[in-house]
Amino acid sequence: LSDQPLRQVLAKPDLSGRLIKWSVELGEYDIKFEAKPAIKSQVLADFIGDRTPTECMEEYPSEEEKGLWKLSVDGFSCVFGSGAGLVLASLEGWNLEYALRFRFKATNNEAEWEALIVGLTIAKHLEIQKIEVSNDSQLVVSLANGEYEAREDSMAKYSTHFQSLKTAFQTLRILKVPKVENARADQLSKLATTKELRKNKTVFMDYLDRPTISGTDVMDIDAPQEPN
C-alpha cells in the first residue's frame, strides 16, 4: 500500500528511459500496487481478516497441464535497433528471463517472429515437451496457427521455420494475448535496445548476429586435377 505514483512503473507497458530500467528491476519481485486507503475505514476489516482462520485448499494441475511450461515473447523495433524479450516459466515457479539484441535490421513483425523462434529454440534445448506461448502480435499468432496465409517472402520463411520447430514438442499452443498481459516480455524487448543492457543484473542478455531464417553461404570446391 502506498500513496506514491508507482502504478505507472509496475503496470504501464509503454515506458521509456529510466522507467524501463526500474520496471525491469522491480519485475523480479511479485509486487501488487494498491492505493493507501483511509486508516479508519480499513482497520476493522484488517483486524477481522488477520484473525480469521482460513483452510488452505491445495490445487492440483490436470493431467494435460502437468509439465506445461509458459513462454511469453515480444519483439520490438525502433530507430535505435531491434530486440526481443522472453519469459519462460514452469508450473513449479522456475523462471528464465531473456533480453536479446539484434545485430541486424528487423521490422516489428520480423522481431516478433525472432522472439517466438528463439524462445522455442531455448525450450527445445531444455528438452521441454509441453509449452504454451503468449504473444500480442495478431499477425504472428495467426500465421503460426495457420489462420493467415503468408504473402511476404520473409513471413513465409519464418512460418516454415516455425513448422519445423513444432515437431520437437508434444504439446505446443500459441495464444494471442492483450499487450497489457504481455508487459514483462515487452519491457525486456525494449530493454534490449537500450545502452544499459549490459548493466542489468536480473536477466540473461545475449545478441543475435543474423536472422534465424538466413541460410549459410556455401561454396562448392572442386578438387584440382593438377597442383594449384
Mean pLDDT of the 163-179 span: 91
- Given a cut of 50, is residue 58 above it in pLDDT? no
Out of 56-60, 76-80, 217-221, pick the least confident: 56-60
Q: Is the pLDDT of residue 137 over 80?
A: yes
* Ranges 42-51, 52-61, 84-93, 179-188: which has the least confidence: 52-61
Inform me whether the pLDDT recorded for 57 exceeds 50.
Answer: no
pLDDT tens by residue, 64-105: 677 899 999 999 888 888 899 999 998 888 888 988 889 888
Whole-structure pTM value: 0.65
Q: 56 or 213, which is more confident?
A: 213
* pLDDT, tens only, 14-47: 666 667 777 777 777 777 777 766 666 566 666 7
The C-alpha cell of 190 is what?
525494449
Is CATH 3.30.499.10 the classification given to domain 69-208?
Answer: no
Q: Going by C-beta distance under 8 Å and a sequence separation of 6 or more, which residues neighbour residue 3?
A: 35, 36
Q: CA-based Rg of the chain, rounded to a whole angstrom?
A: 22
Residues 72 and 59: their CA atoms lie apart, in Å, by: 23
Q: How far is CA 82 from CA 112, 129, 160, 181, 228, in A?
A: 10, 29, 22, 21, 46
59-to-54, 56, 93, 115 alpha-carbon distances in Å = 15, 9, 15, 32
Is pLDDT above 90 for 179? no
User: What ranges do the domains of the chain cover?
Assistant: 5-50, 69-208
Q: Which residue has the higher pLDDT, 159 or 39?
A: 159
Question: Which residues contact residue 132 at a Cβ distance below 8 angstroms, ignoring those fewer than 6 apart?
Answer: 68, 69, 70, 71, 171, 173, 175
The pLDDT, as a whole number, for residue 21 is 74
- Residues of the chain with pLDDT > 90, as a percent, come to 31
